[in-house]
Amino acid sequence: MKINTKAVHAGDRKQPGTHIPSTTPVHFSSSYTYPNVETLDRVFGNELDGPSYSRYGNPTTTALEELMTALEGGHATFITASGMAAIDMALRGALIERRKKILSASALYGATFKLLMNVLEPFGVETQFVDITNVDAVQAAINDFKPGVVLMETVSNPLLRVGPIDKIAEMSRAAGAALVVDNTFASPRLVRPMDLGANIVVESLTKFLAGHGDVLLGSVTSDAEHFETLRSLLRTYGPNAGPMESYLAMRGIKTFPLRMERQCANAAKVAAFLRQHPGIERVHYTDDPAHPDAATIARLLPNGLYGAMVSVEIKNAAKSDIFAFMDELKLIVRGTSLGDVHTLILYPVMASHRDISPKQRERMGIRENLVRFSIGIEDADDLCADLAQALE
């Protein structure tokens, strides 16, 4: 089935009985019982599919997991309470029975950087950073550092760099390392990292997949090798999602491919408008033929679908100028998220990378004049008009 069909149908209509809800209902229950103890025992022992305790699984969340597995193309999916819980669980699961070393992309979401440095490192997990777009540098780092896990984003936050997932997967596999990919900026509409050799794929469902700014969720899609370990982690320390959030995410995903296509088209128009504006120093968008990763983008992303994220450097702008520009926006929403139906603007220095030191931000290429847009489904002409008046 094509992705549009999977998004509408996968996971639904699984409940047996004389009547079957056409969409998965919300199951509010912390525990479940069966007609006899023998059946319950078999459910606890994973001999029969079915819920027993909601830390182990909830029917609404299980339906969402089935849907995400269909979209990502993996062996199984686990839904977590947030995208950061998903990253944490994925890394811990991949590190079990491997060297406690992570080779990470140097271009990375600020909270993920903090997770590596402030949470995992004190527990003995060593991290080294590398330019994930430089294949030779990655191979050299793998040879020298001998990581247990390689971590990257499909499209980096916020400068939109794109590493060759397929080549990095080959190198990771040859070294016995697991490849963990955060696919949030791309979503499975643009890229399916499992198809390119990734072992574990993480999504922040809060973003493009749920898509309406009303859900906080994450997902971890696993290959068969890591399935049992990740399931044990979920059941043991319990970063589970609630059934209402799972229901809302599942409802949002039904229109996700359509939204993503519109958002990509709008982003291309907004990027083109900003490139010719005299107040803009540089536009970071993946449709640019001069993009430093253009060859990888042409190989991995669908033709004409370049994502909905646009980052912009405003000419000669200091922090106060950025604040003034953002305050002038009438339509575009100031908010620390992305992937919503409405267009959002974020100032990385203030939000996503606030806790990263200025020197580290500079090394990442995140300058004080950089803002990041997540383009929504509005009319692109209206977005351009809002930007034009705010840049005056």
**What CATH number is attached to the domain comprising 114?**
3.40.640.10
Last residue of a domain, one of 198, 224, 253: 253
One domain for residues 153 and 180: yes
One domain for residues 339 and 268: yes
pLDDT of residue 16: 61
One domain for residues 185 and 56: yes
One domain for residues 182 and 228: yes
Beta strands 101-105 and 126-130: pairing type? parallel
One domain for residues 324 and 239: no
The Cα–Cα gap between 180 and 172 comes to 10
One domain for residues 104 and 244: yes
Last residue of a domain, one of 235, 253, 271: 253
Last residue of a domain, one of 230, 253, 276: 253
One domain for residues 127 and 170: yes
pLDDT of residue 238: 95
For the chain, the domain total comes to 2
Q: What is the DSSP string of 82-151?
A: SHHHHHHHHHHHHHTTS-SEEEEESS--HHHHHIIIIIIGGGT-EEEEE-TT-HHHHHHHHHHH--SEEE
One domain for residues 124 and 49: yes
One domain for residues 209 and 352: no
Q: Which domain holds residue 308?
A: 256-391
pLDDT of residue 357: 73
pTM of the model: 0.94
Nearest partner of 368 among 378, 356, 380, 381, judged by Cα: 356
pLDDT of residue 15: 63
One domain for residues 318 and 376: yes
pLDDT along the chain (392 residues), means of 10: 89 72 90 92 90 92 97 98 98 97 94 95 97 98 98 96 98 98 98 98 98 97 98 95 97 97 98 98 97 97 97 96 96 94 92 74 82 97 97 94
CATH number for the domain including 328? 3.90.1150.10
One domain for residues 173 and 210: yes
pLDDT of residue 17: 62
One domain for residues 28 and 121: yes
pLDDT of residue 360: 76
Beta strands 370-374 and 344-346: pairing type? antiparallel
pLDDT of residue 22: 84
